[in-house]
Chain A
Amino acid sequence: MTTMETDRLVDDYLSRLEEAAAHLQRSRRTELIAEIREHIDTALREEDAAGEVAVRNVLERLGPPEEIVEAAEPVPEGERAPPGGLEVAAMVTLVVPFIGWLFGIAMVLISKVWSNREKTIGTALAVLAVAPFLALVIIDSYSESASDTLEAFLFVLWVIGGLPSAIYLGLALRRTE
Chain B
Amino acid sequence: MRYMEPVQTRKSLSQLRRGTVEYCVLALLRDGARYGFEIVRELSEVDGLVTSEGTIYPLLTRLRKEQLVTTFWRESESGPPRRYYELTDAGKSALEDFAKEWARFRDSVDAILTKEEG
B37→A68 contact, CB < 8 A: no
Residues of B within 8 A of A (CB): 18, 36-37, 40, 44, 51-55, 57-59, 61, 78-80, 82
Within residues 28 to 67 of chain A, which ones have a CB less than 8 A from any CB in chain B?
28, 31-32, 35-36, 38-39, 41-43, 45-46, 61-65, 67
Per the CB 8 Å criterion, the residue count for chain A at the interface is 24
Q: Is A135 an interface residue (CB 8 A)?
A: no
Chain B residues with Cβ below 8 Å from A61 are: 44, 52-53
B79→A41 contact, CB < 8 A: yes
Given contact pairs A28-B61, A42-B37, A61-B44, A36 touches B54 in the complex (Cβ within 8 A): yes
Q: Is A99 an interface residue (CB 8 A)?
A: no
Those 8 A-B pairs whose CB atoms lie nearest each other, nearest first: A63-B52, A72-B58, A68-B54, A71-B55, A62-B54, A42-B37, A71-B58, A35-B57
Main secondary structure of the interface of B (DSSP, over half): helix
Chain B residues with Cβ below 8 Å from A69 are: 58
Closest CB in chain A relative to B45 CB, distance in Å: 11
A112 to B57, CA, bound (A): 28
Chain A residues with Cβ below 8 Å from B57 are: 32, 35-36, 39, 68
Chain A residues with Cβ below 8 Å from B61 are: 28, 31-32, 72
Closest CB in chain A relative to B6 CB, distance in Å: 18
A165 to B11, CA, bound (A): 42
Counting chain A CB atoms within 10 Å of each CB, the highest count among B40, B52, B80 belongs to: B52
Q: How many A-B residue pairs have CB under 8 A?
A: 60
- A46 interface neighbour in B18, B36, B37, Cβ under 8 Å: B37
A63 to B53, CA, bound (A): 6
A36 to B59, CA, bound (A): 13
Chain B residues with Cβ below 8 Å from A32 are: 57-58, 61
A110 to B40, CA, bound (A): 38
Closest CB in chain B relative to A59 CB, distance in Å: 9
Counting chain A CB atoms within 10 Å of each CB, the highest count among B37, B54, B58 belongs to: B54
Residue of B nearest to A62 (CB): B54
Counting chain B CB atoms within 10 Å of each CB, the highest count among A31, A41, A69, A72 belongs to: A72
A63→B36 contact, CB < 8 A: no
A63→B79 contact, CB < 8 A: no
Residue of A nearest to B78 (CB): A45
Chain A residues with Cβ below 8 Å from B55 are: 63, 67-68, 70-71
Chain B residues with Cβ below 8 Å from A35 are: 36, 57
